Amino acid sequence: MVSTSSIGRKLVMSISGVFLVLFLLFHSLMNLVVIISPESYNAICGFLGANWYALAGTAVLAGGFAVHILMATWLTWQNRRARGSNRYAVTGQQDSVSWASKNMFVLGLVVVGFLALHFYNFWYKMQFVELTGIGNHELAADGAYWVTQLFSQWYYCLIYIIWIVALWFHLTHSVWSALQTLGLSNTKWLTRIKVIGNIGATIVCLLFVSVPVYFLITNLFL
């Protein structure tokens, strides 16, 4: 049986998840600019540099991530404790719960693991340098340089592509999970919104993946 506090926690997860998805939509659209116009991309990176509104945005974003991850850990721990070693004992669950659903937490961990690498690749070389003055200050707002430099290495293109595929699995299932939590159980509408959510997740991931794919193709074949 699901307790009321557990539903409350899932609701917090869903709301923080929706907030994170809005960030992803903005971030994936912004990244596309690096292909079209490196100068404009740098203008956006400059705007998102070490000023108060960008830092406030980073703090809110970090808070959203922290809440989402803490709640996920708590819920996963509770579910495992409730089900003991016999995790899939509920009749019919094997059929109705998809592969992504069972592995939601693991997929989340993969996404966060790659995110740590991503922070080293960009945030550490950009915002961190601007904030602390440690490192190459001239390149701190040159996002286009860092993106081009990173994706000139084919294996980094592959690493990012794998990351975005994991993110796609995570996002497509979370749409389904969030809708159930928010009480949208009317099957006709649930199916429709699920389809719209899946299309949205696919668009965000296609926008993201187009950047490493573009650099991989131009570096290898052009």
Q: Which residues bind ligand HEM (CB under 6 A)?
A: 24, 27, 31, 45, 48-49, 57-58, 61, 111, 115, 118, 122-123, 126-127, 143, 146-147, 160, 164, 167, 208, 211-212
Of 34 and 71, the one with the shorter C-beta distance to ligand HEM is: 34
Q: Give least dist CB 144 to ligand HEM, A.
A: 9
Nearest to 115 by CA among 161, 148, 163, 58: 163
Q: Give least dist CB 91 to ligand HEM, A.
A: 36
Of 7 and 217, the one with the shorter C-beta distance to ligand HEM is: 217
Q: Which residue sits closest to ligand HEM, CB atoms considered? A: 58
User: What is the distance of C-alpha 37 from the center of its chain?
Assistant: 24
Name the CA dihedral angle for 145, 148, 152, 158, rounded to a multiple of 10 degrees. Answer: 130
Q: Give least dist CB 81 to ligand HEM, A.
A: 29
Of 64 and 181, the one with the shorter C-beta distance to ligand HEM is: 64
Of 71 and 111, the one with the shorter C-beta distance to ligand HEM is: 111
Rounded CA-CA distance 86/74 in Å is: 19
Nearest to 151 by CA among 79, 204, 195, 210: 210
DSSP string, 2-59: --HHHHHHHHHHHHHHHHHHHHHHHHHHHHHHHHH-HHHHHHHHHHTSSSHHHHHHHH
Q: Give least dist CB 40 to ligand HEM, A.
A: 13
Q: Give least dist CB 95 to ligand HEM, A.
A: 30
